[in-house]
Amino acid sequence: MSPAPLRRVGLVLRPGFSQLSLAGVMDSLAAVNALQAEALYRAELLSALGGPVESAAGLQAATRPWAPAEGWHAVLVVAPDATPAEASLAALLRA
């Protein structure tokens, strides 16, 4: 039996994101991987432009630029609230 393909899950961080929200998603993916014989999911921290993004508590998370065409299994936006996304992220979300 061939190994299952690794599914890339993009986590797009917006300034002021909740560390608890981010940890919940990452821990859930880690738990699924731990229950399997092999890793199925890989979480990657992204932002519209790449570089550090600061959480509500002041943690700086290193991100890389999000490119929608990279073949993601899923992309989730981790935001502090429901305010509209900045223009650079909004353009990527529409792509």
Average model confidence (pLDDT) for the chain?
Answer: 91
- State residue 43's pLDDT score: 96
Q: Do residues 78 and 12 lie in contact, with contact meaning Cβ atoms separated by under 8 Å? A: yes
| Residue 88 in this model has a pLDDT that exceeds 90 | no
Q: Considering the entire predicted model, what is its pTM?
A: 0.89
Residues 5-39 pLDDT 10s: 899 999 999 999 999 999 999 999 999 999 998 89
Amino acid code (one letter) for 59: L
**Helix, strand, or coil here: 91?**
helix
